[in-house]
Structure 1
Amino acid sequence: MKHRPLALLGAMLLGTGLVACSSSAEGTGRDDSARTALDVWLMRDSVSDAFQEEFEAGFEKGHPDIDVRIQIQEWEGIGEKVTAALASNDAPDVIEVGNTQVAQYAQSGGLTDFSDKVAELGGDAWLKGLAEPGAWEGRQYGIPYYAANRVVIYRTDLFARAGIDAAAIKTRAQWLAATEKLNGDGVQGIYLPGQNWFALAGFVWDEGGDLATRDGDGWKGGLDSPEALRAMDFYKRLQSLGKGPKDSDESRPLQAEVVAKGEVAQVIAAPGGAKVIVQNNPGLKGKLGFFPIPGKTADAPGAVFTGGSDLVVPVAAAHQEEAYAFIKELTGETWQKKLALAMSYVPNTTVLAGAVASDPGAAAMAVGAANGHATPNTPQWAAVEAKNPVKDYMTAVLIGRDPEDEAAKASRSITTTLNSGS
């Protein structure tokens, strides 16, 4: 995942083709030469054609002196493209970036600081998993745009046959007991690949640990903490209640295809995964439901990795005031509600979670988003993911190696990488 969330989520949710476009003044009698052209980069599957058209029309009606020119960008290679834009004298005015990418761009000094605008933008209610990675060294550079996270997708028919009420599953202990009951007689209680480190991270956060923590001026890997070791023990117990491979992740094989082919009671995925399952097996239409990943206790949902995007403005952007006006409107209540309904995304604030109440998958996602987290907020985390000792650690434990020894090894690797400055 390119951190963005769930970068693959958008493709699963939508699969729509978007066209880069801008509003036209043809036939309106409007003189575009007198208007400010605002160049905006939004990512593939961030908005639908219909939403984009509606927003542009609404924004330009309220800001007749601004001509919004949205260009849809691809996730493949976007990091290099954004880095080059920030270093240029001809940067776009607004850029959508993956929430956990903000730190690496802010470190370069190429982003506008919005710290004095946080209160005006309703920052006290922003989702933590978007707001925290949007900040760097105490300053806010990324403005939360939308969120997405994983939920449990389950077979309603298999749950009913086993006499299990999914709505009653509120704790990890209850979830484990239900999964044990579901497992057997040709049914996998859950399909959980051995290297789903995003799921493990949620369990670590539930236990009060983290993947890495600040250590003076540096960082220290956290997989060898007592909290993280308890989380890995739970993961191992849950993973054993299915036939998920111990040495691969959600993409090898694609877990939605696995669920479509067999009797799998549950899978941890973004809600859009349900559409992929049904596409591969139309016979499962109407037989899939959703619930938030359960928490350690019933008073809060399970912690989840928050994927999604923030909006940033390059320091080199020519139209700072107009860029801020664009961000303020797109991330405000009116358009956040519309975006959530149009795209099945979670709005950027906790107070708008009800906007997706009519969408069962998005509603379950919104519940989990309230306990959303991000990976350690450092530009070097991308280098950790490139090697990903977390995956290697998980496989080692699942095949029977000593958890404490393997956790210490993985933590040392994370510590070295985070403090390398490369």
Structure 2
Amino acid sequence: MRHRLLAVVCVTASLLTACGALPEAGSGRRTVTVWLMKDSASKEFLKRFTEDFERKHGDLRLDIRIQQWTGIGEKVQTALKREDKDAPDVIEVGNTQVAQYVDGGGLSDLTLESMRDWGREDWLPGLAQPGSFGSRQFGIPWYAANRVVIYRKDLFARVGIKQPPKTRDQWLADTQLLNSSGNQGIYLAGQDWYTLSGFIWDEGGDLAKEASAGTWRGTLQTPAALRGMDFYRRLQALGDGPVNADEEHPPQAGVFAKGRVAQLVAVPGLVQAIERTNPALKGKLGFFPVPGRTAAAPGAVFTGGSDLVVPKNTDDRPGATAVVAALAGAKWQTELARTMNYVPNKTTLAKAVAGEEGAAAMAAGAAQGRATPSSPQWAAVEADNPIKAYMTKVLNGSDPATEARRASERITEALADKGE
């Protein structure tokens, strides 16, 4: 899940003056430069945050600059090497991107602050783990989003399903029942590897593991990972999703909008696209967390989202950490979650989205969330993803163990290649 995040409110002197946030000349305030990603937060949210922060920190002024996701990796790497006044003091990065910046040696170690002041023990694992290396914390969780099951309430009621399933076995049974009504019980593309990852994690497996310091190996061939793939195969067979394509080919929102599909695994925001295509579905759609192996907890899911990092080359670490503390703290986490329908960075803040069905389902799943392996070379795996090819071959009847071993070998090769 590539990432998204922030937009800003007052990014130039004229805008800051209009917002009343620019300090008077000679006030002696230090400027903290913050890079946030486009669409991570609304303009109104950032206006409120800027005004509140500067009111509480009379010696600081915020200069929030909105960045585009396209090309952000190279731009951040360049910024981490710069020593000029325009270099950022705080940067929002995708949770799965932290590893590559740590590998370059450009991030500040925020372990002491996170352990002492920032409630590290309650962070969502899918945000915290990718930002942690050894016992050191470099990425501070900001917000999360993850997949849930979007479903047709009317089709569930028509076949007598009174409540969404809470176990994977019940999910299979309910999906078979939905098929009996003449509809497609679920639409699941054959190469939806993010969804597969959750099933593998549920079984105790992983996509890759660090065999020794800096050395990673693909692990799709393990018994646990094979069990996850087997469940995916059984679930995918209950629908008509293409086995040789992912969820974007064709876009699954359009497939669901045709009105004959009962379930879809996606982020809740996809409902907007579905309802724009088919307004007749408004009021008929609901959400539930991806079911787990037992009813004790939802299933594991891939957690996308953003972490906040502080470059080593900042000349104002106190100011930078003050910004991170505020953005990651309970007040503005709650505001962001309610404004943007994100999942807050702590399990203890899930109540902030309890009134939003889709966000509440995400929050329940996020408590079991994970992220892709924290190797700096993971992007090389996704660039020519062997997991997708592996899934298609298994769904077409090839031997899972053989194909898993071949895919794992390709993952291992990709993770060993540092482009040298």
Residue pair 2:202, 2:300 contacting (<8 A) in 1 also: yes
User: RMSD of aligned C-alpha atoms?
Assistant: 1.7
- 1:21 has 2:18 as partner: no
Amino acid in structure 2 at the alignment position of 1:177: A
Change (3 A) 1:29 1:193: closer
Partner of 1:201: 197
| Separation in structure 2 between the aligned mates of residue 193 and residue 315 of structure 1, nearest angstrom | 42
The answer to whether the aligner puts 1:57 opposite 2:54 as a matched pair is no
1:87 maps onto 2:81 in alignment = yes
Distance of 1:309 and 1:141 partners within structure 2: 13
In structure 1, distance between residues paired with 2:382 and 2:351: 34
Q: Which residue of 2 aligns with 1:335?
A: 332
1:417 corresponding residue in structure 2: 414
1:325 is aligned to 322
For the 8 Å contact 1:20–1:72, the answer to whether it is kept is no
Aligned match of 1:101: 97
CA distance, structure 2, for counterparts of residue 295 and residue 264 of structure 1: 22
C-alpha distance in 2 between matches for 1:20 and 1:53:
7
Which amino acid in the other structure matches residue 79 of structure 2? A
TM (norm. structure 1) is: 0.94
In structure 2, give the amino acid aligned to 1:98.
Answer: G
> Residues 104-150 of structure 1, C-alpha deviation per residue, up to 9 Å, x if partnerless?
00111111110111121110111111111011243111111011100
Structure 1 stretches lacking a partner, 5+ long: 11-15
Partner AA of 2:24 in structure 1: D
Report the Cα distance in structure 1 between the residues aligned to 2:302 and 2:22, rounded to whole angstroms.
49
**Is the CA contact (8 Å cut-off) linking 1:151 and 1:291 kept in structure 2?**
yes
- Name the residue aligned to 1:385: 382
Residue 150 of structure 2, aligned match among 148, 153, 156: 153
1:401 alignment partner AA:
S
1:190 aligns with one of 186, 197, 202: 186
Q: Percent identity?
A: 56
1:135 aligns with 2:127: no
Counterpart-to-counterpart distance in 2, 1:246 and 1:19: 44
Q: Which amino acid aligns with 1:140?
A: Q
- 2:63 is matched with 69
Amino acid at match of 2:57: H
TM-superposed CA distance for 1:378, in Å, is: 0.9
Q: What is the one-letter code of the residue matched to 1:41?
A: W
Structure 1 residue 403: deviation in Å? 0.9
Residue in 1 that maps onto 2:307: 310
**Hey, what's the Cα distance between the residues in 2 that align with 1:58 and 1:147?**
23
- What TM-score do you get using the length of structure 2 for normalisation? 0.94
Name the structure 1 match of 2:244.
247
- Which AA in structure 2 matches 1:127? L
Q: 1:17 to 1:130 in 2, by over 3 A?
A: closer
SS in 1 for 2:306: strand
1:122 aligns with 2:119: yes
Aligned-pair distance for 1:265?
Answer: 0.2
Letter in 1 for 2:11: C
Q: Which residue of 1 aligns with 2:295?
A: 298
How far apart are the structure 2 equivalents of 1:276 and 1:179?
A: 23
Distance 1:160 1:18 in 2: 44
CA distance in 2, matches of 1:150, 1:28: 38
Question: Which one-letter code corresponds to 2:399 in the other structure?
Answer: D
Please state how far the C-alpha of 1:297 moved relative to its aligned partner. 1.0
Quote the offset at 1:419 in angstroms: 2.2
Which residue identity is paired with 2:16? S
In 2, the alpha carbon distance for the partners of 1:358 and 1:414 equals: 41
| Counterpart residue type for residue 192 of structure 2 | N
| Aligned length in residues | 411
Q: Give the match for residue 166 of structure 1.
A: 163
Letter of the structure 2 residue corresponding to residue 109 of structure 1: G
